[in-house]
Amino acid sequence: MDTLELINGFRKFFGEGGQPCHLYFAPGRVNLIGEHTDYNGGYVLPVSIHLGTYLAVRISGRDEFALRSLQFKDGGALTRPGIRNKTISGWMTYPAGILNEFFDCGVDIPGIEMLFGGNIPLGSGLSSSASIEMVTAFALNELLGLKWPATKLIMLAQHAENHYVGMNCGIMDQFAVAMGSPERAIFLNCSTLEYESVPADMGDAVLIVTDSRKSRSLTQSAYNARRSECENALMHLRKGKPADNLSGYTTVEFERLKHLIPNETLLRRARHVITENDRVFRCVEALRNGSQNRFGELMYESHVSLRDDYEVSCDELDILVEESMDCPGVFGSRMTGAGFGGCTVTLVMRDQAPAFMTKLRNHYFRRAGLEPGFYPVDSSRRLEKLAVVPSCR
């Protein structure tokens, strides 16, 4: 979509005239490696992408918060008491959660009209929710002249998703959306929020996101269960060495202490987190050395760990990864995002990308009965204000 489509939609829902209409954009993200490590205090390596969320906002002068979407039919006017009492459902919980965070900070928000639009495939694991949250927080911060730093907006957005939406996510998604920059990956320590911007130059290879078109309806309950399992595993490992989270253990330390975990499921959860952290470091090194082969090997290793130890893959994602192995020019592939559906990310030679997509589409449809979607990764966008439209004319 583009800004013209957003402006025309705003006129349709809210009419012309009145205060100026402000336009904003927040990207989605794809995580190259480091899955389910963020809420365990670990390391991640995401990049922001060109797909994202657009938002048009106008101060209305009415004592309500009108939320509409070009993607969803439901929407309506929310009141402050309604937001505070969490009477919201569906996609509106994400912007409502941000509004609630601003209320908690004592911000007096005037009545506003907000129209959301976007082109992130819904339920794909490309952080459409974090994109909505961050574009809302960024817009309110700018519109109200608050001048809060990006880190505060990131923390507010994560808190909203944890406590308002009810998803116990880590900080990675909101951080990647807010701090991503063109042609760079974010090497982030999720415990300290220290990060390094790493060149995401894949040379003569390209990253392709493949949407499995598998619904992720069970993600929230299973995601929260994994977090609880990690906390239980940590409790046992602490008997051998104190640590704030699972990422406080090296792979060597884990091998020495793993006998303290009496439950096989908990052991496998911890093993994934600790080995995945190690893979993030090795992937950063591979990026710096321009080693596509090594990067691809680590992608496959990550998927196996997510499939077998963390058990967040599914048949459809496994098929996509398995079939990629037989495609010429492919270095590696893995599921990306929370799992239970969504997308894979694959590193493939640029000149082999068209053949890869054709072959994978045919084989995936034959085995899974679904038509995949393909999105070559373009990390050309960032969180930004796009324009101000006087009277939305």
Active site residues: 173
Between CA 183 and CA 37 the distance in angstroms is: 23
Report the C-alpha gap between 392 and 373 in whole angstroms.
35
Residue 217 CB coordination number (10 Å): 10
* Identity of the residue numbered 277: N
CB 178 within 8 A of CB 27: no
Whole-angstrom Cα distance, residue 346 to residue 142?
A: 37
Strands 65-69 and 112-118: parallel
Q: What is the DSSP track for 45-80?
A: -EEEEEEEEEEEEEE-SSSSEEEEESS-S--EEEPH
Helix (H) or strand (E) holding 346: strand 343-349
SS3 22: strand
- The residue written with tokens 């037989």 in the block is 326
Q: In what order do the strands lie in the sheet with 330-336?
A: 330-336, 343-349, 205-211, 373-376
Tell me the CA end-to-end span of the chain in Å, nearest whole number.
19
Determine the length of the chain. 393
User: How many CB atoms are located within 10 Å of the residue 302 CB?
Assistant: 27
119: nearest Cα among 54, 168, 185, 30: 54
DSSP label of 121: P
CA distance 355 to 328: 8
Non-local CB neighbours of 106 within 8 Å, separated by 6+ positions? none
Under DSSP, the state recorded for 79 is: P
Tokens (6 digits) for 363: 């084989």
